[in-house]
Structure 1
Amino acid sequence: MYDNFFELGGDSLLATQIFSRLKQAFFIDISLEKMLSYQSIAQLSEVIQNEIQPEEGKAKTHYYCSFEMKMGDEIITIYITEEEYRCQGLPDGAINFNIL
């Protein structure tokens, strides 16, 4: 979880595939550059969590719905826009779907 992806034999092609799957699974628009900067699962999970949850005190009005997903031992809430929902639907494993 804390090991460096590239030190374990990962390369840019595999990183690009992971990047694509993360975008699809978590409805996030994270830059490939940012993903390559955070090279362990632990670091990347923090980036993903920050991308999928609204900031404290920030209005959630531009989000269309929310759902929960299990990430490791935790259950996290993910907020998505109507466009994301209509284009991509919900990922496998989504639970407790709510329209806001």
Structure 2
Amino acid sequence: MADVIALLGGGILQTHDPVRCAGQVCCIHNSTAHHMVAWPQVWRSDWGGFMERQCPHGIGHPDPDDLAVRTVEGMGVHGCDGCCRKRKDEAP
């Protein structure tokens, strides 16, 4: 059964079945331990459909786990305040 995620500003997003991504990185079902993992997720259907993480300053940064499975050039380009940069103490 697919998951349903509430969207900011109302609405819902129906996602794929967790079995489909079992054992793989998935920004919804199998997030990695990146430093943005606790930030709220925002689905960006207005930009072709990708997942962002909203930093404490309200800026959207592409979810690293979503970027890891995409092959579209330039997907990581965004208006940035530096919050998405990997911390020096974060594991590779």
Which TM class, normalised by the smaller chain length?
A: 0.3 to 0.5
- Which structure's CA Rg is the greater one? 1
Instruction: With the length of structure 1 as denominator, give the TM-score of the two structures.
Output: 0.31
Q: Give the structure with the higher percent helix.
A: 1
